[in-house]
Structure 1
Amino acid sequence: MKAITWNQGKVRFVDQSKLPLKLEYIETENPEEIVDAIRKLRIRGAPSIGVAGALTIALIAYHSKAENIKNLAKEITDWIDKVKKVRPTAKNLFYALNRLENIVNRYLSNNVNKLKSEIINEALNIMIEECEYSKKVSEIASQLIEDNDAVLTHCNTGPLATVDYGTALGAIMEAWRQGKRFKVIITETRPLLQGSRITAFELKTEGIPFTLITDNMVGFAMQKRMINKVIVGADRILRAGHVINKIGTYTLAVLAHEHGIPFYVVAPTTTIDISSNIEDIIIEERESNEVTSIMGYQIAPPDVNVWNPAFDITPPRLVSMIITEKGIIRPPFKRNIKNIVSYSKIPVL
């Protein structure tokens, strides 16, 4: 099940906000609709957001009426700036848009058709690469899962979050396909329930048994030795090993550390940010109604004060390993992250 596809000037995507009650595909040639889908989490998951952003710019290029290269370049760069502002935390979106910005600068001296073609090709390459990376990272991370494990995962990191295949959940699925048999525990992931809505949907589709728990049950489950590994994804990883991921990830890392449970982070290198410092990171804060209601049903009194950060930051001392498509990164992360990003191919560290 691919989360998003391109077909001759149209983008087709799964509306993840409708899951698990309805599997609905939306096809559009309107870039505003893609931007709105990213903003409203109809398209979500760092790699999928990056690809959706790239395909938004591909739509602009494909349907542009610009008659000269200067006007086309301005139209594209204006849209790149616009899409960058939609969701500020996930690195993959900026990675994709920066690549397209480079294409604009590289082909400014060419004609309109050449720039259009190069933008569309680069966007499609970004999509193909993200699919390849998620497949590879899932295969590598699956090696860490063994028979009789009890693996906890958080939020959603399956095919819908990564265009195809997955990261942390992809590793679980790949290990199951290999014939390993183990327990899977998933958190519901408040406030928007990506675990109970989307991860549960994907695991059911794959025929993988699992146990769903609320986020605040994790500590007790660890205390009762119901969990022996935690595997999560990431929306951005900093050069020193700080992991920015779905709110609640830091809590899981603290609990895992307290109980001596390994805490693995699975993400492609397109999620790694080697240039930003921790103080540079913008943690997206979302609307209060995501906390005060569930799928349209009000669960809190009106006019209550709400704080709704979408992500938190896990310090590197709580992370056991970071698994990428290029291999496994072990501490010290500051040195090894730089090494693994620097080379096109690197053996497992």
Structure 2
Amino acid sequence: MKDIQKVTHVQNIRYDKEAEALYIIDQTRLPNEEKEIRLETAEEMYTAIQTLQVRGAPAIGICAAYCLYALARTIPEEEPEAFLEKLRAYGAYLNSSRPTAVNLSWAIRAMLATAEEHWNEERAALLEALYQKAAAIHEDDIAKCAAISEYGLTLVKDGDGILTHCNAGPLATSRYGTALGPILLGTERGMRFRVFSDETRPLLQGARLTSYELHRAGVDVTLVCDNMASIVMKNGWVQACFVGCDRVAANGDAANKIGTSGVAILAKHYGIPFYVLGPTSTIDLNCPDGDHIPIEERNPEEIKTLWYEKPMALSDIKCYNPAFDVTDHSLISGIVTEKGICRAPYTESLAALFDNKT
């Protein structure tokens, strides 16, 4: 029997109901400093999402839900219609912070729908309904991550090498995470994996966050530069690729951190299965394909100066800094959700997830 070990999970988002205070771990400080910060104003919340103090599609959604509850508490006692108008304005403001992750708009819509359902009740009852909805979104993601982890674990075996890109662990979601979930769950059950973590330029989520989380959990993790993925695959060290996603289109095209599509192309060349892991809230059936997924472009200074004492490029050099790319559905071996593993044709398998309401 394999030894069962306790894996320590990072609690990235915490709402203290007694103090009525929202806290997040500031991911921009990791791995050298694990520091909680409190979010109180709409501007602080917007900044936290926009500057990646909180990041990862599910985590952004969870955070946004708690943000709207916290902001609802600050709206002065006024007519229900005025309250709803102000809350909708807060929702639109937060939703504009990052355009690609569908969980952000999904969570905001869910919170606004709850407010509209209870808009004519006493203020205390309305606020309690909003808190319960935010907490339910959080708990639901924990349950979904556990289910995704179970399904994903069926795709690998003890001793396998797994390559991942960006960060889709507890910091980006909740509890086990999505792409890292099977690894962490398997480790708890005594399985051993060899994980290769792409550094994920230019924001280095793989270096700062994924390798941090896996090392903290006792997983054998090796950090590699993004341009080393090909050689570790060629060496036979990788049996599967696990990545997260920020949005999945109806045809199975998947947006994830920039560089993901390159990993998928390499995996196809070397005959390595490439899996996308994410909750059904990340699937956008209203988006027909990857060409319709908005791609966020970020500050060029992330490439030229962010991690350096001195700039690594001349100040007037042009930069192209998309935050995401889209992996074509033809390169994806399976999309792992909390409801099961979808296979091609994705137009059918993804739609079937939503036909079955159970």
1:161-240 equivalence runs, <5 A: 161-240=172-251
Give the partner amino acid of 2:121: N
1:337: which partner in 2?
350
SS of structure 2 residue aligned to 1:66: coil
When the two structures are aligned, how many residues end up with a matched partner? 345
SS of structure 2 residue aligned to 1:160: coil
Q: Structure 1 stretches (4+) deviating beyond 4 angstroms?
A: none
Superposition deviation, residue 340 in structure 1:
1.2
Question: Equivalent of 1:120, from 119, 122, 131?
Answer: 131
Give the partner amino acid of 2:169: G
Superposition deviation, residue 296 in structure 1:
5.2
1:69: which partner in 2?
80
2:28: which partner in 1?
17
Corresponding position: 1:322 with 2:335? yes
Give 5+ residue unaligned stretches, structure 1.
none
Question: Equivalent of 1:280, from 292, 295, 300?
Answer: 292
- Counterparts of 1:312 and 1:120, CA distance in 2: 34
- Counterparts of 2:240 and 2:174, CA distance in 1: 25
- Counterparts of 1:74 and 1:271, CA distance in 2: 27
Corresponding position: 1:300 with 2:313? yes
- Counterparts of 2:95 and 2:60, CA distance in 1: 11
**Percent of residue pairs bearing the same amino acid type:** 36
Superposition deviation, residue 304 in structure 1:
1.1
Contact 1:238/1:273 (<8 A) preserved: yes
Q: Which region of structure 1 is more displaced relative to structure 2, 200-209 or 139-148?
A: 139-148
Q: Over aligned residues, Cα RMSD in angstroms?
A: 1.4
2:325: which partner in 1?
312
Give the partner amino acid of 1:312: D
SS of structure 2 residue aligned to 1:20: coil
2:148: which partner in 1?
137
1:2: which partner in 2?
11
Contact 1:10/1:27 (<8 A) preserved: yes
Q: Which region of structure 1 is more displaced relative to structure 2, 163-172 or 185-194?
A: 163-172
- Counterparts of 2:352 and 2:253, CA distance in 1: 16
Contact 1:286/1:308 (<8 A) preserved: yes
Give the partner amino acid of 1:189: T
* TM-score (structure 2 length as normaliser): 0.93
* TM-score (structure 1 length as normaliser): 0.95
Deviations along 1:138-175, one digit per CA (max 9) or x if unpaired, are: 12211212122111011011111003220011111111
Superposition deviation, residue 306 in structure 1:
0.5
Deviations along 1:294-347, one digit per CA (max 9) or x if unpaired, are: 4353222212100000000011110001111111111111101011123234xx
- Counterparts of 1:186 and 1:341, CA distance in 2: 33
Contact 2:45/2:94 (<8 A) preserved: no
Give the partner amino acid of 2:338: E
Superposition deviation, residue 114 in structure 1:
3.1
- Counterparts of 1:344 and 1:24, CA distance in 2: 40
Give 5+ residue unaligned stretches, structure 2.
1-9
Residues 296 and 6 of structure 1: CA distance in aligned 2, closer, same or farther (over 3 Å):
farther
Contact 1:35/1:86 (<8 A) preserved: yes
Corresponding position: 1:56 with 2:71? no
- Counterparts of 1:209 and 1:319, CA distance in 2: 25
Superposition deviation, residue 41 in structure 1:
0.3
1:251: which partner in 2?
262
